[in-house]
Amino acid sequence: MTEIDYTDFDYKKIFWEKGDRRYEDFADRLALRRLLPKTGEKFLDVCGGFGRLADEYLGRYTEVCLFDYAENLLKQARAAHSPKLKTAQGSVYALPFADGEFDALIMVRAAHHLADFPAAIAETARVLKPGGRAVVEIANKRNLLEILRWCLGRSQMRPFALEPTSRGAKGVWNFHPLYAEQVFRESGLRIKKSLSVSGLRFGPLKKILGRRLLCALEYPSQRLGMKLTPSLYYLLEKPNA
pLDDT at 169 over 70: no
Q: Report, as an integer, the average pLDDT of 75-82.
A: 95
CA pair distance 109, 126, nearest whole angstrom: 20
Chain segment 9-21, per-residue pLDDT in tens: 888 888 887 778 8
Looking at the domain covering 11-237, what would its CATH class be? alpha beta
Residue 98: exposure state from Cβ atoms within 10 A (0-12, 13-18, ≥19): exposed
Share of the chain above pLDDT 90, in %: 73
Domain segments of the chain: what residues?
11-237
List of residues 6+ apart from 239 with CB closer than 8 A: 130, 131, 188, 190
pLDDT at residue 1 tops 60: no
86: Cα within 13 Å, side-chain hemisphere = 9
Distance of CA 126 to the CA centre of its chain: 18
Q: Does the global pTM surpass 0.95?
A: no
Question: Residue 236 and residue 134: Cα distance in Å, rounded?
Answer: 5
